[in-house]
Structure 1
Amino acid sequence: MNDALRPDVQSLVDAFSTLGVKPHEQLGVLAARRAMEQVTRSQSERAPIALVHDVKITGGDGHIPARVYNPAPREELPLVVYAHGGGWCLGSVHAADGPCRRLARAARAVVVSLEYRLAPESPFPAPLADCMAAVDAIVADPGLVGARPTRIVMMGDSAGGNLVLGTALQRRDAGLTSADALVLVYPCVASPHTNARPSMRENAHAPVLTKSTMAWYWDTHLDGRDADARVDILGRTDLTGLPPTLVVAAGLDPLRDEAIELAQTLQEVGVTTSVLHYPGAVHGFWSLDGVLEQAAELDGDIANFMAAL
């Protein structure tokens, strides 16, 4: 499944080359975080939203910040609880501000973006504990974020997809009420050290995310711990009992095949699952709408999935 570079992706690759962009594992955590925040330069102008406000939500060890995007404060709307990507050690509410605004408008939904703790300062299981506690709090009382939800969707991209899926499974195991749906955008669900799937070889040196960068994220997140099934989720033996799920895979992503395999596994165990494969797309494309055309396409596809629930 070899995907050719789209013209907009080629332009991005050329820009990275001109700027001398280095892989995150060569930069180190602090410099990589600064570089990650520059993603906003590749995003379109921020879309206006009727109400945007910051709140504090219960986390795994105290409170964590969150940002709420409400396109129609007087209406009852779907609620999306969102966990950003960044390899569990990069990323922020600020970097995800543009995509969350687009999603709130496209899906006509309240979006709550979580600022969970990051590794290496707070390695596994801290990010997962924050997401679990935040979802628990919001589901128990949506008024905390000013919402009166018609339904609740949990969404994450990349490492955020891992956290959202891990949270859904923990809630299932605890006998807690599930969200109405999951949206997992190019999720990381398998160890890059043992991943022999074709996309990990074909896209080992792909634009935006390489195999070595993914391995660095993984190791930083785990901080020497063994990867248990809360992280290496494709190693789990039981993925039943989850709500309807949308899985998004990008053609030029090392994680492409694990996302597709996850969708197939969910379908096989009876979870209502939709899978979208974006040919020629790179990992992280949803956050790069200013330069990559498929970001807007994904906005529409997520909105359609939510409307059909």
Structure 2
Amino acid sequence: MTAPGEPALAEPQMQSVLDQLASMGGKPMETLTPTEARQQPTPAAAATMVAAKAGKDTTPTALVPGVSSVDRTIPGPAGPLPVRIYMPEGAGPFPVVVYYHGGGWVIANKQVYDGGARSLAKFASAVVISVDYRLAPEHKFPAQHDDALATYRWATQNAASIKGDPARLALAGESAGGNLAVATAIAARDAGLPMPKAVISVYPIAQPDTTTASYVEYATAKPLNRAMMGWFAKHTARTPADLQDPRINLVKANLTGLPPVTIINAQIDPLRDDGAMLEAALKAANVSVERKLYAGVAHEFFGMGAVIDKAKDAEQYAGDRLKAALGK
């Protein structure tokens, strides 16, 4: 048992991934350049190695069966955007989920977050579009948010061309992408676009204050800690004022009129309380919101369903929530 006031310990399956990650020789991200940070071992790679050591076939289609994918580009505000389109089995038309990967707006890509996007395609029986939005610091805020909205706009206009139903759209994302999912719903409302029917926001960045209880409690947690969040903010923002922009500071944004939002949080995560604060802000705006907190798991657990039972539960939960909102 964890003593009162002590940070929670990871449950065994999560700990096996964290141990594997620790063995892979990564350096503290806040000591690196963005280019160096993008070459670091990832939690997703650690999870794949755990699966391999357990004798599992680690090809993506084996880890998440029943989903195929194709890479292509779509038009973006500053040039073509690479996307990966995931397709469930069947004839369609399917609901369409636009998905945004994590990485603090600075690192990672659709490949690193393949597990989360692929699992949503499976459990929601939906076409999922995962986009490689532009990264900071080469492209400072709001480039990421502009690309996120452009991807959603493309989906509203082109869903039918990918066996999708343009009347059944949703948004989803993890971490920085969890922020993008909510921010894009707000932007779609303000732009008069067809509204998504649901938003799945997995351990989102929802506000800039790094002195919340979970930031303090998990200041040195793995794989995400407070120093890394400061590093992400430094590289993403043009000025400190950007961190107060409602696209980043979601808890201060106008949230009225948004579709139902599902928030998934990990206990061992500086961003745990961001999820709780976003939940409260959405309730205050009369938005339907459901939040689920998973004990004993850390940031990045979503998408690791092949090796962590609680991750598979979270993926199934997200898929069920999408199915309930998107219907037939």
Q: TM-score, normalised on structure 2?
A: 0.87
1:136 to 141, 153, 161: 153
1:203 to 195, 209, 218: 218
Deviations 1:38-70 (A, max 9, x none): 733423521244542122222221220111111
How large is the Cα RMSD of the aligned pairs? Answer: 2.0
Q: Is the 8 A contact 1:158 1:187 kept in 2?
A: yes
Deviates further, 281-290 or 122-131: 281-290
The whole-number CA distance in structure 2 between the counterparts of 1:28 and 1:287 is 26
The whole-number CA distance in structure 2 between the counterparts of 1:150 and 1:73 is 18
1:35 to 35, 40, 55: 40
Aligned-partner residue type, residue 71 of structure 2:
D
In structure 2, relative to structure 1, the CA distance for the partners of 1:8 and 1:50 (3 Å cut) is: closer
The whole-number CA distance in structure 2 between the counterparts of 1:144 and 1:84 is 23
* 1:4 corresponds to: 9
The whole-number CA distance in structure 1 between the counterparts of 2:279 and 2:46 is 32
Task: Measure how far apart 1:225 and its partner are.
Answer: 5.1
Aligned-partner residue type, residue 249 of structure 2:
D
Whether 2:229 is the aligned partner of 1:224: answer no
SS of the residue 1:308 aligns to: helix
Task: Measure how far apart 1:37 and its partner are.
Answer: 5.5
In structure 2, relative to structure 1, the CA distance for the partners of 1:128 and 1:107 (3 Å cut) is: same
Task: Measure how far apart 1:268 and its partner are.
Answer: 2.3
* 2:87 corresponds to: 70
The whole-number CA distance in structure 1 between the counterparts of 2:163 and 2:40 is 33
SS of the residue 1:207 aligns to: coil
The whole-number CA distance in structure 1 between the counterparts of 2:215 and 2:67 is 42
SS of the residue 2:308 aligns to: coil
* 2:117 corresponds to: 100
1:179 to 172, 188, 196: 196
Q: Is the 8 A contact 1:208 1:284 kept in 2?
A: yes
Q: Is the 8 A contact 1:156 1:162 kept in 2?
A: yes
Task: Measure how far apart 1:168 and its partner are.
Answer: 1.1
Q: How many percent identity over aligned positions?
A: 33
Task: Measure how far apart 1:150 and its partner are.
Answer: 5.7
The whole-number CA distance in structure 1 between the counterparts of 2:255 and 2:236 is 23
Task: Measure how far apart 1:224 and its partner are.
Answer: 3.4
Deviates further, 122-131 or 15-24: 15-24
Whether 2:47 is the aligned partner of 1:22: answer no
Aligned-partner residue type, residue 27 of structure 1:
L
Aligned residues: 306
The whole-number CA distance in structure 1 between the counterparts of 2:145 and 2:98 is 14
Deviates further, 48-57 or 91-100: 48-57
Q: Is the 8 A contact 1:76 1:150 kept in 2?
A: no
Deviates further, 179-188 or 11-20: 11-20
